[in-house]
Structures are given as structure tokens and as C-alpha cells.
Amino acid sequence: RSKEMVEVHIEKGMRHGQRIPFRGMADEDSPDVEPGDLVIVLKQKEDTGGFTRKGNDLFIRRSVTLLEALTGYTTVVNHLDDRKLIIR
């Protein structure tokens, strides 16, 4: 058996459960049998800093008091890419 490195490119927007196939890359010991495919299945991490994903959109839920809702307030949301979003 020889070892081979496979480089997997995860594109922006790929979804949980999406499959990335590599044709003929499965390991087969028998020279008479054609190797199958190596299939990488993406699993989305659950801990995303409070964000949930619906399609291509990210949602975050924040509670505000009645006073804040009536008079306005500012908060900072730390985005997944480390940007700080100021919400007013």
C-alpha cells in the first residue's frame, strides 16, 4: 500500500452533508478490482458563536430591553471571520 496526500478544497457556502468525491481514490488491495471513490462528507460545526445558518444567510438572536428598543442602543457582534459588526 502506498500513501497519497489528497488536497480538499472547501469552497465558501458549502453545506452540511455536501459530498466531495475523488474518483478512483479508494484503497483496493486486489489488482483485479477497480478502486472505488473516496468521498469526503462535510459536517458543519455546531458551536458557531451563537449564529445559525439558513441557506446562505447567518442569523444571530439578541435580546433587548424595552428601554433599549424605544430609545436605541448599540451593540457589537463578533462575526465568524473575526470582523466586529456594530449594530445600532
Q: Contacts for 47-54 with beta carbons within 8 Å, 24 or more apart?
A: 48/80, 49/78, 49/80, 51/80
Give pLDDT, residue 8: 94
pLDDT band at 1 (very low <50, low <70, confident <90, very high): low
pLDDT above 80: residue 36? yes
Compute the average pLDDT of residues 15-32.
87
pLDDT above 80: residue 15? yes
Give pLDDT, residue 26: 84
Calculate the CA 65 to chain-centre distance.
32
Cell numbers describing residue 17: 452533508
Summarised one tens digit per residue, pLDDT across range 47-80 is 677 888 888 898 998 899 999 999 999 999 999 8
Cell numbers describing residue 49: 458563536
